[in-house]
Structure 1
């Protein structure tokens, strides 16, 4: 086998394949389908300081080449995760990463402090696409100032690897990425979902209770690839790419564009074995091209 190992900050992964938050539960849900310890990292569903019920139904809708979701970060809170879920998954032989969300900077910081005390959690992924309630609902991650403020505050509270997940709903994502890097991020992951909507023409009603939601799946891949390439050329920290990765070929394209690792999201709903197939496909690609290490092709796109 080729050497598939990668480093994201101090995070050491056996291969570059990760799962996207919100598409893989806490990992346990997939144990009947695959050996989840073969995955480089599992990013568990979005975790907030306090319990959240999420948005009213319907909150998912299929669209051409993709899906919309407006789940609304339904979870039982950081303390519940630490007390009840963490003990069940802490022994897994892979990196467990917690996606952290919030509606105020203090929420992010307190959640990060709780997660920081869990020895077998390798990193957090900071979701800065959340609305900042103190700033009238504007997402933290759509301005350099907003990104800087939340990343800096969490960096001071969290001592392990800090990944910042970037929103694509911005004018210049490279500018936001540089702000996250300057504020102490060890890595950036992108893209989060694109804002979209779907309508039932017969009923003259939106398909989602929230009217708009996050678009993911193959439809967003060309945009995600472009943004990963732009960000990889703008920062020095590792980039984690995601957005419409359905197979190993998609994954290789993101790595060539500059991603050191990738996340599989929507594809998990279609085929729960996708992550393993992607890992095997990456290895086959490297062996066919006589490449010894995955690191040799990170950002190797010829332009």
Structure 2
């Protein structure tokens, strides 16, 4: 069996040569040569909103012993610039060799629908990641992804206007992930991305104020990996659609652990901030790891922990 066949993973809209991709925001739009994007199984874009956003006040990030605390605020060029400039550039660079999943976010259901319609009318992507961690302005600012009702409402609305595969990106900042995972599956999601960042805060003792301008931020990195493993496992026991695991992946062992818990593929995020070659390093290490743990193919590993 060739290495290519051992590592291949086929998910709705994501026919991947290996199970490794970046997480949204980690490589912006994937046009920087330093991240070895061409070696990855798929590319996930920066989360896109209807209007251009400059993001939250600086500073955006704080490095902590266990990871990275960030409050970027979905800074992005807006959907029309993405359609006109960034997606054509991705197509020109990678052609049809790399599946592309565009991440979207809105503050209302209608915004998600409009973004989906605009993307569906192009030929530049193969799947849509629906980021449900945005505040729902129609309901007092509560994030869409923290309730089964609001999460499924978005997914059902998006499902009505596109034939593209859609992946619901769920939040870990909930009491129980299982009803939310079940709800987005019932609403028409083709897959789930889990987890997003964990809400945290870090204080400057000298200034007696938060280190992030906004106060709280999303924690990513090694510290959240055990949380990701638990939530992926719980979701995998609840749904039959594929799960893409994300959270604290720095090594091939981290990736395989999330897959054993229930993920069919994984995303790498915070680790790319200090090692731009981490994805290619993990990909190169997979065949040896499969041999070590006695698996013929990467797909055999998924959901092997029951």
Q: What is the TM-score normalised by the length of structure 2?
A: 0.95
Once residues 289 and 99 of structure 1 are traced to their aligned partners in structure 2, the CA distance between those partners, rounded to angstroms, is 34
1:213-232 equivalent positions in 2, closer than 5 A:
213-232=217-236
2:61–2:71 contact (8 Å) kept in structure 1: yes
Query: Would you say how many aligned residue pairs link Structure 1 and Structure 2?
Result: 300
Equivalent position to 1:157, from 146, 157, 161: 161
1:1-303 equivalent positions in 2, closer than 5 A:
1=3, 3-29=6-32, 31-34=33-36, 36-91=37-92, 92=94, 93-301=97-305
1:142–1:169 contact (8 Å) kept in structure 2: yes
Give the CA deviation at 1:288. Answer: 3.5
Unaligned runs of 5+ residues in structure 2 are none
Once residues 297 and 170 of structure 2 are traced to their aligned partners in structure 1, the CA distance between those partners, rounded to angstroms, is 27
2:113–2:158 contact (8 Å) kept in structure 1: yes
Q: What is the TM-score normalised by the length of structure 1?
A: 0.96
1:38–1:276 contact (8 Å) kept in structure 2: yes
2:16–2:42 contact (8 Å) kept in structure 1: yes
Q: 1:283 to 1:98 in 2, by over 3 A?
A: same
Give the CA deviation at 1:280. Answer: 1.3
2:178–2:238 contact (8 Å) kept in structure 1: yes
1:141–1:147 contact (8 Å) kept in structure 2: yes
Superposition RMSD on alpha carbons, in Å?
Answer: 1.2
Once residues 293 and 223 of structure 2 are traced to their aligned partners in structure 1, the CA distance between those partners, rounded to angstroms, is 29
Once residues 10 and 217 of structure 1 are traced to their aligned partners in structure 2, the CA distance between those partners, rounded to angstroms, is 27
Once residues 99 and 223 of structure 2 are traced to their aligned partners in structure 1, the CA distance between those partners, rounded to angstroms, is 29
Give the CA deviation at 1:10. Answer: 4.0
Give the CA deviation at 1:33. Answer: 4.9
1:112–1:157 contact (8 Å) kept in structure 2: yes
Give the CA deviation at 1:114. Answer: 1.1
Unaligned runs of 5+ residues in structure 1 are none
Once residues 151 and 26 of structure 2 are traced to their aligned partners in structure 1, the CA distance between those partners, rounded to angstroms, is 24
